[in-house]
A and B are shown apart, each in its own frame.
Chain A
């Protein structure tokens, strides 16, 4: 069997399965529901913003419309995509056709690679409802910036590819489809446990595992920021899982099977840790609104001394979340080499007891100079950084993001909802039915 025959066969298995189209329809429904809710909220906020310029600047379609849709997509990908991705290899093993297929094509690696390639079509198809919804949004007067939206979609596409590779690895390591799907879903949802710990001081110990959180990796993409660390992390996961799949799919058993898999997992863990701690990123957002003013960035990069920030705030403190989302994210874009320390996260005693006079401080060190504050304001923190470095705060002016308020209601809203809840999922259902229906065989 030639490679092209094999690829055609694997693609046929993915696209010829009803479960593929049901999953795509369910995913489209989740994305559509998020889209309609986002449009309603964005329209309501836009109505108020129409009267106030300052409010209008806050109307960011990437955060208000695209990001909620991608939330729906992430849920669908994490829970449903393993059903498509694990199925090909798992059923082949269940049907006892895997060995003969591997011999016919000349090796197990080719089979696993072809299965992965075929399953990778699914995350591409899952992005279609997002694209169609955004096209409708633009059609009704909404604004979508191409570059930042492409970055956001790329992050979720990479996430989909990683889930595909993890699910195929799960199929290679198990005996049945049910086991493979469960393992694939468990791994893909595993990082949510780490995310669940965010905001809970009692679960501070989970913070040490933040480098395995998928949501943490997707966050910069969803802000239009192309993060090298997050990209490397997702690609490492994909390549590592593919290597595990290839190794586990071999016809060996016992230690000869387990040792290479364990070695790959160790290398993968190291790669994920390394990329999880890599902060370099490029701001692709419209008007570079995720970054500090250009002159501030230039001046920060010109500082030769190392920057170290100690944050004396617990994980469940809202100020800490605000600091991370705003000041820290922008500072890291300018100075990815800065060192960040949360001294309270390392304490074993209940954190309530640690809320003494030191609590709430943010200590900024530039070289040996030190400044501290209790404010999480971006401007205050940057000012103190320059003060510690003995420099004057540079010009703070920045191109103003104008915001893109839009009100979609009445018949337009009805049309969007019809498309989101009916037409787009329906296209997948009808397309799937046409492709998978049993044509009566003429005897």
Chain B
């Protein structure tokens, strides 16, 4: 079964708790968007699930609990936000992308494959990284800000392709742009200071924020404000 289940996941760095007791289940075919202000722990959460950071709690990937890093690596795919590709290599070699591959053609990056990573824009690099992530078919996908460098026209074309490509996987994706999260995600996880402030569908979050028809960014701000009022000093 392609699903991701995390229970009581915490990440500490010295005395600071970067992620605090997060529990979540992402079902096969479900997209959960992780939202939160800067420093909320979105990237740390993804890194902990991927096994790139020491964490407490349990992570079950595709039915396997507490897997080693190699076992996790075989079942999930991770696309970091701020990765810089080796400038000596072409995009094709750096990401092992072959011309003619379905995702390469659908994202229109075939001409970029023979171009050095040092000579492409951030958006082009990001597009190639996303193509590589979507090409690697794994049961669980962890994507950190995959849409950050796309212009609106590209996004309009990309989102349906993305949805189709991840159809069989459990996807946890961090997103800063609320309108994308609104369009793409089945459920939303709102983080603040490493804690889960709210989890649910957009309607469930609206209900929690007492804003039945509000757009997601209003809901987001209301829930954060509400959380800040209850935050102990």
Give A residues with C-beta under 8 Å from B.
Answer: 1-2, 5-6, 8-9, 12-13, 16-17, 91-92, 95-97, 99-100, 102-109, 250-254, 256, 436, 438-439, 441
Contact = CB atoms under 8 A, between A and B. Distances in A.
A252 B69 CA distance: 10
A97 B85 contact: yes
B145 interface: no
B54 A100 contact: no
A1 B97 CA distance: 9
Interface stretch (B27-35, B101-109, B115-123): B115-123
9 contacts: A1-B136, A12-B88, A95-B83, A95-B85, A97-B80, A103-B78, A106-B74, A251-B69, A441-B115
A252 B52 CA distance: 8
B54 A91 contact: no
A3 to B, nearest CB: 11
A2 B96 contact: yes
B151 interface: no
Nearest to A91: B86
Q: Which 9 A-B pairs have the closest CB atoms?
A: A16-B88, A5-B96, A95-B84, A107-B70, A99-B52, A1-B96, A103-B73, A97-B83, A441-B119
Contact of B80 (A100, A109, A250): A100
A95 B86 contact: yes
Contacts of A17: 88
B50 to A, nearest CB: 6
Contact of B78 (A99, A108, A253): A99
Nearest to A17: B88
B54 A252 contact: yes
B7 interface: no
Interface in B60-105: 69-70, 72-74, 76-80, 82-86, 88-89, 93-94, 96
B16 to A, nearest CB: 14
Interface of B: 47, 50-54, 69-70, 72-74, 76-80, 82-86, 88-89, 93-94, 96, 115-116, 118-119, 132, 136
Contacts, number: 86
Contacts of B118: 438
A108 B78 CA distance: 14
Given A100-B80, A106-B73, A250-B69, 16 more contacts: A2-B96, A9-B89, A12-B88, A12-B89, A16-B88, A17-B88, A92-B86, A95-B83, A95-B84, A96-B82, A97-B80, A97-B83, A97-B85, A97-B86, A104-B77, A441-B115
Contacts of A91: 86
B54 A256 contact: yes
A107 B73 contact: yes
A92 B52 CA distance: 14
Given A96-B82, A99-B52, A104 B89 contact: no
B197 to A, nearest CB: 27
B90 to A, nearest CB: 8
A106 B70 contact: yes
B89 A16 contact: yes
A83 B170 CA distance: 41
A9 B115 CA distance: 14
Nearest to B138: A103
B68 to A, nearest CB: 9
A8 B95 CA distance: 11
A102 B73 contact: yes
Contacts of A97: 80, 83-86
A103 B76 contact: yes
A17 B116 CA distance: 12
B111 to A, nearest CB: 9
Nearest to B136: A104
B46 to A, nearest CB: 10
A250 B52 CA distance: 9
A103 B85 contact: no
Contacts of B69: 102, 107-108, 250-251
A256 B56 CA distance: 14
A254 B119 CA distance: 39
A104 to B, nearest CB: 6
Contacts of A99: 47, 50, 52, 78, 80
Nearest to A254: B54
B115 A96 contact: no
Given A250-B69, A441-B115, A100 B86 contact: no
A13 B89 CA distance: 7
A22 to B, nearest CB: 14
Nearest to B111: A442
B52 A251 contact: yes
A342 B54 CA distance: 51
A8 B97 CA distance: 12
Contacts of A108: 69
Contacts of B86: 9, 12-13, 16, 91-92, 95, 97
A251 B51 contact: yes
Nearest to B142: A103
Contacts of B70: 106-107, 109
B84 to A, nearest CB: 4
Contacts of A436: 88
Contacts of A6: 96
A96 B132 CA distance: 16
B31 to A, nearest CB: 19
Contacts of B73: 102-107
A439 B90 CA distance: 11
Contact of A103 (B77, B93, B116): B77
A17 B50 CA distance: 30
Contacts of B116: 438-439, 441
Given A9-B94, A107-B69, A100 B79 contact: yes
